[in-house]
Amino acid sequence: MPLSLVILAAGQGKRMHSDLPKVLQPLAGRSLLGHVLAAARALQPDGIHVVYGHGGDQVRAAFPDADLQWALQAEQLGTGHAVAQAMPPIPDDHQVLVLYGDVPLINTDTLRQLIDVAGPEGFALLSVQLDDATGYGRVLRDNAGNVYRIVEEKDANRKEKTVREANTGVLVTQSARLKAWLSNLKNDNAQGEYYLTDVITLAVRDGIKVHAIPAPTVPEVLGVNDRVQLAELEAAYRAMAARRLLLAGVTLADPLRIDVRGEVTAGRDVRLDVNVVLEGSVVLGDRVTVGAGAVLRNVVIGSDTLIHPYSVLDGATVDAGCVIGPYARLRPGSRLLAGAHVGNFVELKSATLGRGSKANHLTYLGDAEIGDRVNVGAGTITCNYDGQNKWPTMIEDDAFIGSGSMLVAPVTVGAGATIGAGSTITKSVPAGGLTLERGRQQTYLAWRRPQKATPTERAQTIARTQLKDETPTAE
């Protein structure tokens, strides 16, 4: 059956104390609404309708996706009113699934189950069992266990408030019926709003059985209204991500100290030390070891690679058997071929380091193509930027670059060439042989280091300088 999704994302989020709309608040490297949209798209619906309101321009700008349809809720008159704004373009024969832009951990498998239970003509809602359901609407059942009503917290009596089965607001039903029920909502309640939950009562009156399906886990149906709840869900996300990695065979030094902010694919016998951060798309080959505090963002790491602590890899590709860090930085466009070594305080940007090549200390390699078995000495810099343009450096196989060398691009160093330490290379270097560029070394034996002056000597020196400055110069 065709499926349309309605995502409510119009809330202001006053308790966030932020200029950023609530649904754009970040969790695990993605906005709250971004998480919901990811779950929604996994269902492959026929349409996604987002109801926006507060900060609408920001929300729409954050998601310029062509597959989204936007519905403005100009006045905040309740959840029923919000859903009604999105319904006109949805065909009557569609199922409609209602989601919330501030409930980021909703699970796609849970939603599939809900859709299946509802069927083409039925009604299903997602509930949750809570030890303390304060603030939530309660799911009320008759003696036979059938759902007949949802009562909001502010409208519930003392007995109803003891019910632990809470409404999550997530529901699915047939479009034509939902449109009819929404048109019959009243706002004669404690908040003067049009409650979406009142459609349950209307459905029961029409003889429609309402199925309430308990959520498998509590975190996946929790919403965010303040910074405390945001932090709690961030911790829940970390715990779920750590569990997935552990079940996939990854060794975590401490599952409580790992941050996963994207999608991770890991091979066998991968080991991650404490406080590792994984962002975006991260692919780790077999037997990869990542040291404490390392940050990996949108990378592919080959098997048997060792990443030492506090290294940052962003948009890099690393082949098998490489050694990186500690405190190394691989920026976008960097690639290490098999067996390459990048050591402490070495930075690569749009650079390739060939097989078995090494840059082990205090080096910057930008816009460079470096061949196999090259040794790049400490303190080497490829001077790739002239203030307006970036220029390439080519270093061919088996070259040796002495420490403290400046390679002023565009420049090529031929195969097997050796650059003497401290050289500034401004012209291409032929293959083989030794190339040096140094000024003449001189020694002044009579020179002495300045000694610390007394206050009197400082005053005298300053006075002489001033007198010299004031003496007229002969024309």
Q: Which residues are catalytic?
A: 361
Return the residue matching tokens 């966030």: 16
Cis peptide before 455 (omega within 30 of 0): no
- CA dist 339 and 321 (Å) reads 5
Q: Where are the beta strands (DSSP E) in 267-340?
A: 271-272, 276-284, 289-290, 295-301, 306-307, 312-314, 317-318, 323-324, 329-330, 335-336
Express the helix, strand and coil content of the chain in percent, nearest 5 each. 20, 30, 45
Secondary structure of residue 271 in the 3-state scheme:
strand
Q: Judging by DSSP bridges, how do beta strands 335-336 and 317-318 pair with one another?
A: parallel
Report the Cα 33 to chain-centroid distance in Å: 13
> DSSP states of 418-440 as a string?
EE-TT-EE-S-B-SSSEE---PP
Q: b/e per residue, 397-413, with b = 16+ CB within 10 A?
A: bbbbbbbbbbbbbebbb
How do beta strands 329-330 and 341-349 pair? parallel
Maximum alpha-carbon separation in the chain = 115
Distance CA 86, CA 118 (A): 21
Alpha carbons within 13 angstroms on the beta-carbon side of residue 5 total: 27
Task: Give the span between the Cα atoms of 202 and 197, in whole angstroms.
Answer: 10
In DSSP notation, 54-116 reads TBHHHHHHH---TTEEEEE--S---HHHHHHHH-TTS-TTSEEEEEETT-TT--HHHHHHHHH
